Structure 1
């Protein structure tokens, strides 16, 4: 009988069991298939294992040696080697870049940070953080040109704490970024911040150690730098909006804050968005002017009616409201669930207007003080998203210029450079981009040039599908974070740094200080 070679056949033995007849070549074919399957598995898993291994971060590292040096068309000198050692002689440490003014301190404060239960106005108790027993922390008011000193004491915050002066272009050593410009202040320790309040405007402060958790749970406060001459407004009030376990409060006291103001007077409401997502502000019962964005005055601010103002995460918008002469009062609505009520009577709330004020064409143009067309450095900051590993964890991670953290750009500049940057977002979500230590001017959005008052910003809302061109003068040496201020995103990879040549940092992320800026 002829047995086909394509597979086993069955042989019947009289009086015995039925058993297969296997061709001599069959076991070899099965072994080859098994070997091929194993090779295919290795071919698939080896690159994955290599990517996983390559994503693992050491227990401690310098931000100066992470990423890919980008000189923006100029020399990328000053970027450290992989031991964190600067590659230029006579490099300055960020700890030496402190306030040089010898002016006496005009305002001296001590803030004591605690981790403790916070009682909301509703009576709900939440696990949180306080400064001097309150959240938000004490409101700071100082005159332009005055010296401010704040001693931060950590009573019991187990992870350590810092204070970052959001929007204030302080010397780098006072920036308050753990692992970059200082070590986190441990329990029982302290750190003294000292700087001149050079620019009048609305700012705020918050922890930049385990920033997302400590911020969300209340470790923040407002900083107002007043101009030297008193203002003519009848009321000047901060409206810091914050979500505590999903409950929106203004200044930590309730969803609504009532501010007395005479009929026919003007009131300035300084809206500060301390949350991770953008919000809107608008006025019911009166017209208003958008008189400042991110601490910088708007020139030629016209009256606004029927439009809201977008306030991105970390951003500020100062609204000057002209109260009605009949005493009917006005409301500054914030997000539709909270408000500042101005005047003697309570005006009814109103829904958000259909229009949104566009700062790109609002106000009167003015010289910038430098020429963006003659930029010394030009950078791209393209935000995207793709699957991969970050520190060994698989996920869908943010990317900068197509790269995942830590292989993100280190933007290298020299002091005095004019810098242009194009920010694009194709990630599917909005990102409030925040550059420490500098204000940038918006040149265009989606190719449309700015035509209004110079739009200076430190917290720029970049929606999905949008692109912005911005410019700034590199006039504040140091190593500065440039990150998304939805503070869940930097820990997911959406963070880069701006580094001046000839500057290094002695501080490390991780290590004995357990520095964790995000």
Structure 2
């Protein structure tokens, strides 16, 4: 009622405080109103527009021109100081010691020995019949997925001719975990152009290190690998006790985990007392675990490198990183044994059905303290450079697309570090993760040794990795010897994540690349 009395007698629209009709602006205010609205809009949208525009990537572009130089705080050798003389087309690599610059295409195998193993792999689009009854539109190599298992002896030369029958977006082969020369790394737009339909590329390298590895396309990698364009590679030791081995590539086809692309169960006839080495290869985007039912086992290798002094294990599982490998050795008991992989696949060892499956043990084997110490071949305390690789996440624009993207050291692709090293240096890196998800970090062309996790030092066998799970909230310190010149991807091997920005590069001073991402060739390593 008080409100009614206070307004009584006013004409509708009358404003006694201003002495004019409400809603009628004076001429000056009316003139400035559109300008004020425009300025307010620009103030709101201007920064967003600038962020959008600044995120757009050139087409094509060289990865060596992306991001910023990180030399670990130590100037690189050479006349150009810590920028190593940004020469034309050299990007951050520039000029090496003595003024010599080399292209990644020239960094090929130097051995002149004839290949001991030579084969052709033909990639094509194909329909893959799954045991579930479904048919997957995918890719095959020589008509199968996975492609042929390749075996070569340590010290021999392997030569593989890749032919693209009809994969429209092109293909490559990356030799995951094999420290090949940079020109054979198979990364589209970095170390080669993707092989177009009707084209071919020949990979040739010396199998220097015995171990379990795999190969896969690194062109449109997420789609092509998930849909079948991969295979396993075993480098057998030249000398050593004879041990039977079986390869189990675990891969999700349309949500179904199959071993070697055939079945969730792989039967391996074996006599009681026989030792069998089961080489587990995790080709998926996420981690899995392996454990043994019915017998103790030894974890004899991780990521292709033998564990020093492995002891028998029972009642524990072995984590297997996405992209990683774990070799488990089992002495087959009279009733047989099962190597369980992820709880929905298994290698059954023995003459019969083996024991019933068992759930994953509550405890996991920790490689940080497993096995016994051994020399590394270099001194991590004498590192020439130390880097940080901090993984995070924040909203923003990536190549003009808004979203929640991964970050490296707080920055989004392409404004990420280019880790610069010189050949022969010892390098340390601290990898930390505060992004909310686990990330399987994979460095091409090198193996690194784990020094510590969350500040707890390694006390067991040297834990050599090329693929390392870094869980949310974890940090690892690793070290490596920079003994393989080139431009190397250092990225998450959940293959959806590199395309979302979780990729950096390790680059040697004096190395350049003639290849570009995008452009007429359509190179797309992610």
TM > 0.5 fold call: yes
Give me the TM-score of the superposition, normalised by structure 1: 0.94
1:215 match: secondary structure: helix
The correspondence for 1:110, drawn from 114, 117, 120, is: 120
- Please provide the CA RMSD for this pair: 2.0
Q: Aligned pair 1:135/2:145, yes or no? A: yes
- Alignment correspondent of 1:42: 42
- Please report how far the alpha carbon of residue 87 of structure 1 lies from its aligned counterpart in structure 2 after TM superposition: 3.1
Counterpart-to-counterpart distance in 2, 1:11 and 1:384: 58
2:374 match: secondary structure: coil
- Alignment correspondent of 1:450: 458
286-295 or 42-51, which deviates more: 42-51
- Please report how far the alpha carbon of residue 21 of structure 1 lies from its aligned counterpart in structure 2 after TM superposition: 3.4
- Alignment correspondent of 2:290: 281
The answer on whether the counterparts of 2:280 and 2:327 sit within 8 Å (CA) in structure 1 is: yes
- Alignment correspondent of 1:408: 416
- Alignment correspondent of 2:367: 359
The answer on whether the counterparts of 1:69 and 1:79 sit within 8 Å (CA) in structure 2 is: no
Counterpart-to-counterpart distance in 2, 1:91 and 1:415: 13
The answer on whether the counterparts of 2:89 and 2:513 sit within 8 Å (CA) in structure 1 is: no
Counterpart-to-counterpart distance in 2, 1:367 and 1:217: 41
Give me the TM-score of the superposition, normalised by structure 2: 0.92
CA displacement 1:155-207 (0-9 Å, x = unmatched): 00100000000000000000000000000000000000000000000000000
Judging by fraction of residues, say which structure has more strand.
1
Q: Per the alignment, do residues 22 and 40 of structure 1 end up closer, same or farther by CA in structure 2, a change over 3 Å counting?
A: closer
The answer on whether the counterparts of 1:165 and 1:175 sit within 8 Å (CA) in structure 2 is: yes
- Alignment correspondent of 1:15: none
CA displacement 1:416-473 (0-9 Å, x = unmatched): 0100000000000000000000000000000000000000000000000000000000
Q: Aligned pair 1:465/2:473, yes or no? A: yes
- Please report how far the alpha carbon of residue 25 of structure 1 lies from its aligned counterpart in structure 2 after TM superposition: 6.1
The correspondence for 2:340, drawn from 320, 323, 333, is: 333
1:228-377 correspondence runs (5 A): 228-229=238-239, 231-233=241-243, 235-324=244-333, 327-346=334-353, 347-377=355-385
1:351 match: secondary structure: coil
Counterpart-to-counterpart distance in 2, 1:384 and 1:228: 43
The answer on whether the counterparts of 1:431 and 1:484 sit within 8 Å (CA) in structure 2 is: yes
51-60 or 27-36, which deviates more: 27-36
Counterpart-to-counterpart distance in 2, 1:289 and 1:22: 86
Q: Aligned pair 1:191/2:201, yes or no? A: yes
The answer on whether the counterparts of 2:181 and 2:445 sit within 8 Å (CA) in structure 1 is: yes
The answer on whether the counterparts of 1:65 and 1:80 sit within 8 Å (CA) in structure 2 is: no
Counterpart-to-counterpart distance in 2, 1:382 and 1:296: 26
Q: Per the alignment, do residues 248 and 79 of structure 1 end up closer, same or farther by CA in structure 2, a change over 3 Å counting?
A: farther
**5+ residue gaps in structure 2?**
1-9, 14-19, 76-81
Q: Tell me the number of residue pairs that the alignment of Structure 1 and Structure 2 aligns.
A: 503
- Please report how far the alpha carbon of residue 43 of structure 1 lies from its aligned counterpart in structure 2 after TM superposition: 1.2
The correspondence for 2:392, drawn from 374, 377, 384, is: 384
Counterpart-to-counterpart distance in 1, 2:449 and 2:88: 34
The answer on whether the counterparts of 2:89 and 2:512 sit within 8 Å (CA) in structure 1 is: no
CA displacement 1:258-293 (0-9 Å, x = unmatched): 001111221100000000000010000000000000
- Please report how far the alpha carbon of residue 37 of structure 1 lies from its aligned counterpart in structure 2 after TM superposition: 4.0
The answer on whether the counterparts of 1:105 and 1:148 sit within 8 Å (CA) in structure 2 is: yes
**5+ residue gaps in structure 1?**
1-8, 13-19
2:11 match: secondary structure: strand
The correspondence for 1:121, drawn from 131, 142, 146, is: 131
